[in-house]
Structure 1
Amino acid sequence: MEGRFDYGLNPKKLGAVSAYLCDPSTVPAEFLLVKSQYQAETARPVERGTLFFQIRQAFPPGEVTAEEANKIGYETAMRWTKGKYQFFVCTHTDKGHIHNHIYYNSMAFDCSRKFHNFIGSSFALRRLSDRVCIEHELSYIQNPKLHSKGRFLHYGQWIGEKPPSAQQRVRLAVIAALEKKPADFAVFLRLMEESGFAVKHGRGGMISFLASGQDKPTRLRASTLGAGFDPEDIRAVIAGERPIPELPQDAPAPPRRVDLVIDIQQRMAQGKGPAYARWAKVYNLKQMAAALQYLREHELADYAALEASTEAAVDRFHKLAGELRDTEAALSKTARLMEATVDYAKTRPVFDGYKATRYSKKYLAQHEAELAAYRAAKAAMNEILDGVKLPKIDTLKKSRRELAEKKKALYAEYRQAQADMRQAVAVKANIDHLLGVTDGRENKAQER
C-alpha cells in the first residue's frame, strides 16, 4: 500500500492532489486504522482481500489543466463511492497527457461495509467517467476498442487475467462434475468434494459449497449462480432431461435512468428559492448529459430517428403487455379447468349413487355438499369448454406448465421493455424541452 501511494504522491510527477476523509501525508495509516476498527466492530478478518482500489483516468493532451483534471477526478470518485469511502486523487503531469490516479479504501469510513467489486464494474465506471466529462464539456472515447471476446480493454489485461470469483469457481466445478455423468445427485456432491469444495447442508435442504480460502459458502441456487444451477436443474441434467448449463456471460452494468428535466421557471413561480434554482440547474445539466449519452450509444443522429425509436419502444411495450395478458388469461382458464375436472372426478361417484337411488331425498340430505360441488364443477367445465371436448388431465398439466414458463419469460421481457420505454420517453421529452418542440400538443409517446 505504501509503495503504491508513494508512486501516486511522487512530487516529480504530481501536478495536483485532493483528498476526502483522509490526509495524503498519512493516508496509509488512516486506511489501516479504518480497517482495524472494522475488524474490531464486526470480528471479520481483514488480512485477506483487497486493501484498496485504484482508478486511472486520462485526458487528451492540452484539454485540461492539472487542477481541472483533479477536480474531475474528485467528482468521479465522490460519485463512484457515494461519499462512503476515504479516497485521494493524484494528478500526474509527467507524461504527454495529464492523468489521475484515484485511490480509495476497501472499507467504508463508518465501518459498515466492504467494497465488493461487481460484474460489469468497468462498464459502470466508464459510463460514470464519460458522463462527468460530458457535463464538463470534455471529450471522451466514443468507440472503445474491444478485444476478441467483445469486452472493453481494461487495466486487468496489463496485470494478467483476474482470478475467477467464488461463484464462477463453483459454476466451473459444477459443469466439470456434470460432464463426468454422475449416476445420481449423491455422486455429484461427492465429485464436488473431490474437486476441493466442502459441501454444506443448510435449512430446508439448502446446499452450499465452500472453497479453500473462501470466507462464505456459495449457495447452489439459480438466484446466486444463474439459470440452470438450481438443485432441481442439476437433477434434471443427471437424469438426461436437459443439457448441462452454460456459464452466464458478464453483462454491463445497467445505465443510469434518465429522468425528466425540471421546469425551473414554473417552480420559481410556485415559490421556490434561489438555492432550489441552483440545484435544479445542476440536476437538469446531468439529465441532459445522460440524454446525450443515450443518443450516442443508440446511434440516434437526428430527431426523426429518436421519434421512431421512441414510438417503437412504446409499441413493443404495449404489444408485450397484451401478449402477457392473453397468456395469464389462458393460464387461469387452464388452472380453473383442471380444478373443476378434479372436483368433478371426485364427486361423480356420489352423483351416480344419487341417480341410482332415483334421486332419493334422504340420499340428497346425506350428500348435499358433495352433490353441490358436483354441480358447480360440471357447470364450470361446461362454461370453460363451451362445447369443446375435455382434454386428458396429462394434456392439461403439460399445457399449464408450458403457459407458466411462457408467462415467466414474458414477464422478463415485459419488465425490460417497460424500462426501455420509460427511458426512451424521458430522453425524447428532454430533447423536446431542449429544442422547444411543443407546438401546443402533448407528445403522443409521453401521453401513452
Structure 2
Amino acid sequence: MATTAIWKVKGNLGRVVGYAANPDKTENPAFTAQDLQGLRDVMDYATQDYKTERQHYVSGVNCAPEIARDEMQMVKQQYGKEGGIIAYHGYQSFAPGEITPEQAHKIGVELARRLWGDRFQVVVATHLDREQIHNHFVLNSVSFVDGKKYNDCKATYALMRQTSDQLCREHGLSVIKKPEQGRTMSRDTWEAEQKGRPTWYGQIRQDVDSCITRSFLFEHFIANLKKQGYEVKTGKYIAVRPPGRERFVRLKTLGDNYTEEAIRQRIRDHERTPLYHRPPPPPRKYYKVRGKPRKLTGFRALYYHYLYLLGKLRKPTAPPKKRRYNMAEVIKLERYVEQAKLLMKYKVDTWDQFYTLAGAIQGEIDALADQRKELYRQKRRDPQIETLSLRIQSINQSIQTYRRELRVCARIEAEAPGIPTKIHGLTPAQEKELKPPAHHRTRTRQR
C-alpha cells in the first residue's frame, strides 16, 4: 500500500535537491517548511545520506543525481524560465514492514519513468529514516524537450495515484481500495497534521464533530455551527468559514465522514444523550509545601496565563458555544509554548533580563563561530585529524541551538506586547506601556 502527494516549490534551486544527502542528522532529522522553499532545499532534502544509506538509494531520470541541480538550472536558462515555480516535490510512502528498501526504490524509479520520463528531469531518493519507507521525487518544472512547464492539476495527480497503485499491484503490495475523496490539502497542512500540530482542518473537524453530537436535526447542526462563530453556505456543497479566515472550506474536503450525507447519517445514528453532564468533582488532595511558593511574575506569568486561556495547560470540561479567542491564536499555540519554555528556562521576567539574555546568546554564537573558523583553518592544514570534524560538528549543533533560541527571542520581542491586549482588551495607551524600550533591539545577525 502506498500513499502519494505532490506540491510546488518556489525559491532557490540548489537546496531542494540536496536535503536528502546530509549525513549529519541520522537520529532526529528536522524537515521544516523553510527546508523546502527552494530547489536547493528540496534537492538537499531528497538526497541526504543518512536517509538513503549513503546514496545507495538515489537515482536520476534524465539527469545525474550528483549534478542534477546544475542540469535542471541549465534547462531553465535555455528556455528563459528561471522564475515562478522552480520544481515539484513528490512523495510516495509505503506501509510499515510491507516492502524492502531495494523494492521501494525500484518502484519509485519506475513511477518517475512512467509519469515524467519522456519530458522531465527527476531525482528519486528512497528514505529509510522513519518507520515507513518512502520515496521523494524532485521534478524539474521545465521540460527539457520543449521548454513547457509541468501542469500540476487534479488529472495529473490522479494519474500519479493510479500509476502508483498499479505498480503496487504488480509487485504484490496492498492498495488502498477506497482513497479519501476531496482535494489534496496543502503540504504545510499535511506536514503539520503528521506531526500532531493544530491546523485549520483539524480545528474545523473538532467543531463539526462537537456540533453533530449536540444536534438532533440537520438544521440544529447548522445553527450550532453558526453559534460557534462560523459562517455557513448551503447549496450543492456545504461550505463554512471559520472565525478569522478569509476563505470558505467545503466540509467534504475534510474527509468521507464530513459530506452532507455522512453528517446527516451521523446525526441520525448517534446516541441521544443530554448535551452535557458536569462530571463529579475529583477528590481533593492535600499536600504539605515546605516554605512559601514563589509566584510567577512578568513575562513568565503572562505567557503561563495566555497558554492557560488557549487550552494548552488544561482541557475544557464542555464544548464552548462560541470561541472567545480567534482560532488563529490556537494555530500559533506551539509558537507561544516555545516562547514560554525559553522564558521559563532562563527565568526571564523583565525587559532588562530579556535583552541581557539576547545579548548573551548572540555572544555565544559569535564565540563559537570564531572557534569553528579556527578549526576549519587547522583542518585545511592537516585534513587527517579526525577529531577536528567531530569538534566542528559539535560546534555546528550548538550554534544551531543558539540561533533557534535567538529567533525565539525575536518573536517574543514582536509578540509579547500584544498578548495582554488579547487577554484583557487593553487600550492602545495601556498597551504602549508594555512595549519594549525603543533603544533596545534583539540582534539576529547570522554568522
TM-score normalized by structure 2?
A: 0.32
Q: Which has the larger radius of gyration?
A: 1
